[in-house]
Structure 1
Amino acid sequence: MNTLINNLAKLSAVTLFVFTLAACGDSDAEDAGEAIDEVVTDAGNAVEDACEDVKETANAEDKDC
């Protein structure tokens, strides 16, 4: 559970950083969109990893998330 909370905290920090760069930088919207897409993908992977860890710890039969 702590892993999930840590991953969500990291995601929040990265998201804030990306939005700050997008707002203050002179990069175009495509770069900002790609950065946000990467953050969302990383978040999805982190949630899936946390789910798999919980199922592995609980010795669940179905380990897919």
Structure 2
Amino acid sequence: MRKSILVLATAFTLTAFFTSCRDTKKESDNMEMSDDMDDMDDVGDDLEDAVDDTGDAIENAANETGDAVENAANEVEAEVEGTDDM
């Protein structure tokens, strides 16, 4: 019984020691927020650019896929008709 009370007292003491030593700086946090607002505009612009680039890449990939399918269909048709170069 004595050991469990000592263990609980030690745990409480350590908990109180580590939680009471926190530094709070609310004034500096407000200044960082105002500086970060300019960065948020840049992030928004970068995000829009990334979305545009992704859309262009998807469109190009779709066009290339369509061309490859069309070429493959033409080759199969030529093979079936017997006009293939090979």
TM-score (norm 1): 0.49
User: Which of the pair has the greater relative contact order for Cα pairs under 8 Å at 6+ separation?
Assistant: 1
Normalized per residue, the structure richer in helix is 2
TM-score (norm 2): 0.37
Structure with higher Rg: it is: 2
